[in-house]
Amino acid sequence: DTLGTTPEGGVLLGPERPRTYDDLNDNEKKQFNADVHATNIVLQGLPKLINHIIEAKVIWDNVIMLLSGSELTIEDR
């Protein structure tokens, strides 16, 4: 017995599971890695007490300081 069908008429043979990194194609893996890298850069640039900072420029200056010297800012020089 089948467990169900998809809206397109396909057959479901088991419960769906969340996609894992291994399920991604090469482009999706590159995008995922870039997203994680960008998130880490932003999080490292934020002070621990970010909710006490009321000026966006202070936050932005922290991010720029972290990026200085990386390949992401070489073309900006």
Predicted pLDDT at 31:
94
Predicted pLDDT at 50:
64
Cβ-based burial of 37 (10 A; exposed 0-12, middle 13-18, buried ≥19): exposed
CA Rg value for the chain: 21
Residue extents of the structural domains in the chain: 24-76
pLDDT digits (tens, 9 = 90+) for 41-73: 777 766 666 666 677 777 778 777 777 766 554
